[in-house]
A and B are shown apart, each in its own frame.
Chain A
Amino acid sequence: AQSVTQPDIHITVSEGASLELRCNYSYGATPYLFWYVQSPGQGLQLLLKYFSGDTLVQGIKGFEAEFKRSQSSFNLRKPSVHWSDAAEYFCAVGAWSSNTGKLIFGQGTTLQVKP
């Protein structure tokens, strides 16, 4: 069965510092992968997605993520965090065999940014 694990429930970084949010997935074949961000009181917004090809994908707001098949990981990174990046981040995985577009979401990581 597919599953997604975000090991860090809560992360605090200083403004200007680099950021890495971890995501590990379990899936029998190559999945497609997403990172979403949820600002306080808002719905989820897509940051980036991986389907195939280049394993380093670029997203909005200066975020990037790297797909590592050997580690079953899809970690999200940003070189310099801004106070406005404080939010909850969700990793999600989908199956190519599904026509319904169903996704499995991780538990989420809350990012706090210190001034």
Chain B
Amino acid sequence: DVKVTQSSRYLVKRTGEKVFLECVQDMDHENMFWYRQDPGLGLRLIYFSYDVKMKEKGDIPEGYSVSREKKERFSLILESASTNQTSMYLCASTLGGAGNEQYFGPGTRLTVT
């Protein structure tokens, strides 16, 4: 079974803090994704990576950065957390090429106070 794990299920941070969300997959997938999920807005893509050290912006990259130093690990970084970044963050991975399903982690619910 494909396994995608995220470092925390719940996280509470203060405004202005630097926040790291970690995601690890164990199936040697080329592509990894970070989404943000908010009620009524569905899943919105923040960033994705199609190879080690390669990344592309998604639909809402502002205020976020990412890092992929190893194939299995994809990190989302909030340089200076703000209250409007309070949300559920989902990580996913998939094999390279079109037509493959994405496998999701359990999510991290981040609250910025």
Please report A residues at the B interface, Cβ cutoff 8 Å. 6, 9, 32, 34, 36, 41-46, 49, 51, 90, 94-103, 105-108
> Is B74's CB within 8 Å of the partner chain A?
no
Give chain A nearest CB distance to B56 CB in angstroms.
8
Question: How many chain-B residues does the 8 Å CB contact rule pick out?
Answer: 28
A108-B42 contact given A100-B48, A100-B50, CB 8 Å threshold: yes
Interface membership of chain B positions 37-59, coded 1 if the CB is closer than 8 angstroms to chain A and 0 otherwise: 00011110100101000001000
The A interface, classified by DSSP as helix, strand, loop or mixed, is: loop
Of the candidates B45, B101, B107, the one whose C-beta lies within 8 Å of that of A46 is: B101
The reply to whether B31 and A100 contact each other, CB–CB distance below 8 Å, is yes
A94 touching B107, Cβ below 8 Å:
no
Closest CB in chain A relative to B53 CB, distance in Å = 15
